[in-house]
Amino acid sequence: MVVFFDMQQDEVTNYSNFHLSLELSANELHLLLTDKQTNSTTARQTIHLTSNLTDAFNKSEIVSVANPNSVSCAIVNDLFSLIPRAIFSESELPTFLDFNVGLKEDTAPYFTEIENKELIVGFGISKENLQIITKQFPQVQFMHQATVLIQSLSNGLHVNFNDSSSFQITEIKENKLVFYNQYQFESPEEGMYYLGLVAEKLGLDLQKERISISGNVKKEGDILSFWRQFLPEENTIFNEIETSQANVLSTHQYYTLHKQFQCV
């Protein structure tokens, strides 16, 4: 069920100045409806993907009610590569992605540019999902979740959890991207190992470094409870999203979904 905040359902139907943010992973579709005039959240919904994406859109109350005049979709997968703007050629993108991540036949190449970082994020989208999304929303703008994180995060070390078995680590210094990568892990111990490995590579002391956390991780869950054995609790901060609604919407767990609109 979707709750529309600050607006009645009929008001939502008759109002067009919305931006719809989509975030698509292998197992979930997240939707966030933003009032562009006030930059406030109107509705949010998560749909677990049990079949194809068309069925998910048919189940969505946001899609059935709202008429947004702009739409963006962030893809969450490991089919991406960061390319310096100075050496980028759009015509060479498929070759570059195929060399770095293995571009499959059923995957279409895409890219977004992060101007303030002089960086291109090249990535792949399932051709089936691409067709379904563009048919549903012809005006959609695609990006990779990496684009949202790199463009919206401030200076420092950041960890964003896709789910309980994968995260991205980002280090930004003096507004320049120093490090970005995604890791799969099977246990909190393995996740901590990767974080320690990155800290060692970057010359960071995890006992002193402030680490900002976002994504699908619980503050008191198993992962962070284990990590606190090695990280001072006062140095672990959360990227909360400030909204005009109740605390249920002020959460680090949907950080990239909320920040997506600002990256369009």
**In the prediction, which pLDDT does 226 show?**
95
- How many C-beta neighbours within 10 Å does residue 118 have? 13
Please, which residues have CB within 8 angstroms of residue 126's CB and are 6 or more apart in sequence? 106, 107, 108
Q: Name which of 70, 200, 88, 90 is nearest 139 in CA terms.
A: 70
Would you say the CATH fold of 154-238 matches that of 1-145+243-264?
Answer: yes
CATH fold of 1-145+243-264 reads Nucleotidyltransferase; domain 5 (3.30.420)
**In the prediction, which pLDDT does 191 show?**
96
Q: Rounded to the nearest 5°, which phi and psi values hold at 198? A: -65, -45
Domain ranges of the chain: 1-145+243-264, 154-238
Q: Name which of 259, 249, 261, 262 is nearest 45 in CA terms.
A: 249
Contact 129, 24 (CB under 8 A): yes
* Rounded-to-integer distance, Cα 239 and Cα 216, Å: 12
The rounded average pLDDT for each run of 10 residues, N- to C-terminus, in the chain (264 residues) is 74 90 95 90 91 93 94 96 94 92 91 91 96 97 97 95 94 94 96 97 95 93 94 91 53 90 88
Does the pTM of the predicted model rise above 0.75? yes
Q: Rounded to the nearest 5°, which phi and psi values hold at 90? A: -60, -35
Query: Which CATH superfamily, name and number, covers 154-238?
Result: ATPase, nucleotide binding domain (3.30.420.40)
**In the prediction, which pLDDT does 116 show?**
83
Which residue(s) pair with 212 in the sheet?
158, 237
* Rounded-to-integer distance, Cα 146 and Cα 80, Å: 8
